Amino acid sequence: METQFEFESLRREASSWWHIAQRKLLQEAVAHALHNKHKARVLDFGGRAELHTLALPQLRCLNAHPSLPLLAFQQIHGHPNLICTSAEELGFASNSFDAVVAGDILQTVPDDLSALRGLRRVLKDGAMLCLTVPAYPSLWGEKDEASGSRRRYTATELRRKLNNAGFEVMRVSYFVASGFIPAVIERIGKNIFTKAIDRKAASVRPSNWTDAAMVLLLDCERNVMRMINLPFGTRVVCWARKPALVAERVTVPAWERQWTRSPLPQGMS
């Protein structure tokens, strides 16, 4: 019974306005990262981007997630190359991917800094990571509990953690600005009038016209976000790069070089 409820929840989520908008955002990030590249290898950690639908014949995408039920649901719906692995211990070779996307998965892992280091390890030098996470801890609610989230982020906090993990942050922007005020009002109302968390109530499906309107609004936001970073929203989007290793010439002082010479054989001056 629990598995049936989980599959029904995943089915509703797969057709929701946020899933559609997130898929468009991540696919656009991959297309930008792989511009003029051939035979690229991309990791979709979380399986949200649905990169197999892109018209890129030379693209090889691997879909990874720590949840077996979610992978089973994706297999039923025709997603290829499914791999079950945790974020902290990614079962991939180092420097093996030209790009990584991670949609709404970082907030569910126990150790997000370790997960970011793992994603950095599997990226090639100079390759890009694009990820989305829920914004503002003050907006924490029933939907976060139902989805297995452990935390929410601010743009500053996400930038700091990416820097600590060894990434070079290119851009950080908020997203879903059109849903920010309604989310704040909803959170205030629930804090006042409700205290208990009802998992089934937290997964109520919006109407079709609401989904269509939100997808249209987020298409506009995505176009605006190409030019400027949005100052607020219910999601944080980040584009970061794994720095390429640069060989540096080190100048050793003369007084130090004399101590590094091989010693003279005994009996010689």
Nearest Cα residue to 148 out of 86, 106, 119: 106
Q: How far apart are CA 143 and CA 140, in angstroms?
A: 8
Tens of pLDDT along 44-91?
999 899 888 887 767 889 999 988 888 888 888 888 899 999 888 888
Tens of pLDDT along 108-124?
999 999 999 999 999 99
Q: How far apart are CA 219 and CA 182, in angstroms?
A: 18
In this structure, what are the phi and psi dihedrals at residue 172, rounded to the nearest 5 degrees? -135, 125
Highest mean pLDDT among 30-39, 192-201, 259-268: 30-39
Q: What is the pLDDT of residue 199?
A: 46
Task: Show Cβ contacts of residue 237 under 8 Å, excluding neighbours closer than 6 positions.
Answer: 25, 130, 131, 132, 172, 173, 174, 175, 225
Domains of the chain are 2-244 (3.40.50.150)
- Kindly tell me if the per-residue pLDDT of 254 is higher than 70: no
